[in-house]
């Protein structure tokens, strides 16, 4: 019996457990699921005879190390900042490790020891990062193997609401951490390459510089730039690429409306507001508007943002109850961003019957035999229900598949790594097809590099 230790029982863990449990008999697996919240862990484990729920405070070194020592492989589904202690335990007890998080500086610093120990610390093996790396590198490597040179790479991903559950004017609901949505794009300008020129979009302009994307069967989307696209030059070996851009997908119109919150200052997380616990939604909105002895909050906001009352933007704001005098923020010592998140959670939380949707879109421009070409690739995944969401599927499945491939000696290269080599991405992508995670490719006219465009 091979013990797989799963630390962390968050939203994506249910799909991960289901995958491993369904393979438990043929692979001789026993699953140990450890989390601080025992009831939630028991709920995830009770469906499967091969799964055992354990309460674990990750700060308890003795308990944590005992579990790691008894595992054949360790999967950490904890928040990213907590992986490093698990990683050090894995190094101590010579255990392989899998996480879905970006490689931190602390994790990268372990690479020499991990490699020398012959261990595999696989990171960034969820959706984004994860499936984005693997699906992009498969096409990039194929183009290179055929003698092509990559000129353009653009990549977009969005966690959205499925069309059948899309019932608000924003065409959006929270499918992941709401705080990350509210704070998106902050902390510096978006950096990217466009036709050989470095470009920057400051936060206050980010949501007004969008790109349209059409996905067959699902209509039109828009995308705004992610903060730093340039790091992917070294990750993907694209040092000579002319255009390199990564973005976040939303339905058309979302970004223009979201920009209103940015203009008002409601997404600011850098200071605490006074008396937020008893503050009404209307009072919160009024904080950011000039004083007037005669004008209503609604009128002041419309004048300040230059919104006509027959503009759809106005209907979107009304839908969120921003001017409600009875609803209270109910948070102590909250920042503007935390208050806005509280208001949005009223309207954008998925109902029990709602389904989510993941959309990913890649563009590859390349030159081969003197001819410029382009391939666009799209993937859409729709969730089953509130437990087995599309987000959980696209994060949990790659993690589980990677763990089994490492356990079975199919993935063997040691070190702290992300899934950009053929040894890693080919077997995982091939297996994901059987779960409906498939990229459709289209030959399209190349967007083109024109030296006269600036």
Q: Which CATH number covers residue 137?
A: 3.30.360.10
Q: Are residues 21 and 135 in the same domain?
A: no
The pLDDT score that the predictor gives to residue 388 is: 87
Q: Are residues 176 and 73 in the same domain?
A: no
User: Length of the chain in residues, anyone?
Assistant: 454
423 located within any domain:
no
The pLDDT score that the predictor gives to residue 387 is: 82
Mean pLDDT to the nearest integer, 414-439: 96
The pLDDT score that the predictor gives to residue 80 is: 87
Mean pLDDT to the nearest integer, 103-111: 95
Q: Are residues 48 and 87 in the same domain?
A: yes
The pLDDT score that the predictor gives to residue 309 is: 86
pLDDT in tens, 11-24: 889 999 999 999 99
The pLDDT score that the predictor gives to residue 412 is: 96
Minimum mean pLDDT range among 134-138, 147-151, 344-348, 444-448: 444-448
The pLDDT score that the predictor gives to residue 452 is: 38
> Residue 451: is its pLDDT beyond 70?
no
Q: Where are the alpha helices (DSSP H) in 50-194?
A: 61-69, 83-93, 105-108, 111-116, 131-145, 178-182
pLDDT band of residue 448 (cuts 50, 70, 90) is low
The pLDDT score that the predictor gives to residue 414 is: 97
Token pair belonging to 87: 């990683």
d(CA 99, CA 233): 23
The pLDDT score that the predictor gives to residue 449 is: 52
Number of domains in the chain: 3
pLDDT in tens, 429-438: 999 999 999 9
Q: Are residues 175 and 281 in the same domain?
A: no
178 located within any domain:
yes
410 located within any domain:
no
The pLDDT score that the predictor gives to residue 450 is: 47
Mean pLDDT to the nearest integer, 340-369: 95
427 located within any domain:
no
Which carries the bigger pLDDT value, residue 452 or residue 13? 13
The pLDDT score that the predictor gives to residue 159 is: 95
407 located within any domain:
no
Q: Are residues 59 and 178 in the same domain?
A: no
395 located within any domain:
no
What CATH number has the domain bearing residue 54? 3.40.50.720
Token pair belonging to 266: 């409601």
263 located within any domain:
no
Token pair belonging to 211: 């790109």
Domain that holds residue 303: 273-334
d(CA 296, CA 302): 10
pLDDT band of residue 306 (cuts 50, 70, 90) is very high
The pLDDT score that the predictor gives to residue 321 is: 96
Q: Are residues 244 and 364 in the same domain?
A: yes
104 located within any domain:
yes
Evaluate the CA torsion angle 393, 124, 88, 85 in order and state its sign: negative
Q: Are residues 378 and 229 in the same domain?
A: yes
Q: Are residues 241 and 379 in the same domain?
A: yes
Identify the domain boundary among 123, 139, 170: 123
Q: What mean pLDDT, rounded, does the chain reach?
A: 94
């Amino acid at each position: 019996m091979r013990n797989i230790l799963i630390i962390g029982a968050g939203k994506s863990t249910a799909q991960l457990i289901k995958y491993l449990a369904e393979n438990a008999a043929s692979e001789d697996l026993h699953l140990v699921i450890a989390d601080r919240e025992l009831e939630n862990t028991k709920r995830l484990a009770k469906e499967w005879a091969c799964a055992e729920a354990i309460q674990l405070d990750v700060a308890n070194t003795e308990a944590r190390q005992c579990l790691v020592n008894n595992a054949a492989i360790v999967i950490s589904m904890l928040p990213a900042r907590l992986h490093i202690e698990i990683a050090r335990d894995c190094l101590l007890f010579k255990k392989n490790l899998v996480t879905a998080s970006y490689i931190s500086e602390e994790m990268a610093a372990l690479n020499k020891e991990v490699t020398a120990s012959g261990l595999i610390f696989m990171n960034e093996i969820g959706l984004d990062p994860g499936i984005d790396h693997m699906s992009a590198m498969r096409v990039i490597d194929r183009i290179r193997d055929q003698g092509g040179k990559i000129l353009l790479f653009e990549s977009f991903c969005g966690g959205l609401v499925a069309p059948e559950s899309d019932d608000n004017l924003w065409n959006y609901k929270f499918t992941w951490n709401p705080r990350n949505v509210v704070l998106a794009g902050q902390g510096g300008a978006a950096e990217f390459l466009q036709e050989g020129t470095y470009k920057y979009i400051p936060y206050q302009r980010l949501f007004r510089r969008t790109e349209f994307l059409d996905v067959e069967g699902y209509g039109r989307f828009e995308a705004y730039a992610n903060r730093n696209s340039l790091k992917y030059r070294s990750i993907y070996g694209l040092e000579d690429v002319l255009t390199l851009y990564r973005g976040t997908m939303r339905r058309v119109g979302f970004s223009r409306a979201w920009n209103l919150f940015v203009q008002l200052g409601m997404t600011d997380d850098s200071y605490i507001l006074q008396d937020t616990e008893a503050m009404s939604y209307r009072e919160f909105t009024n904080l950011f508007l000039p004083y007037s002895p005669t004008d209503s909050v609604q009128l002041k906001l419309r004048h300040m943002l230059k919104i006509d009352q027959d503009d759809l933007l106005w209907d979107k704001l009304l839908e969120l109850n921003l001017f409600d005098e009875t609803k209270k923020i109910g948070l102590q010592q909250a920042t503007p961003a935390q208050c806005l998140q509280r208001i949005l959670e009223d309207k954008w939380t998925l109902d029990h019957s709602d389904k989510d949707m993941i959309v990913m879109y890649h563009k590859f421009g390349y030159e081969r035999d003197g001819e410029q070409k382009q391939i666009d690739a799209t993937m859409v995944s729709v969730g089953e229900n509130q437990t087995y969401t599309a987000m959980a599927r696209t994060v949990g499945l790659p993690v589980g598949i990677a763990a089994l491939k490492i356990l079975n000696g199919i993935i063997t290269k040691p070190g702290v790594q992300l899934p950009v080599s053929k040894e890693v991405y080919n077997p995982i992508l091939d297996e994901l097809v059987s779960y409906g995670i498939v990229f459709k490719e289209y030959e399209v006219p190349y967007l083109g590099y024109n030296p006269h465009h600036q």
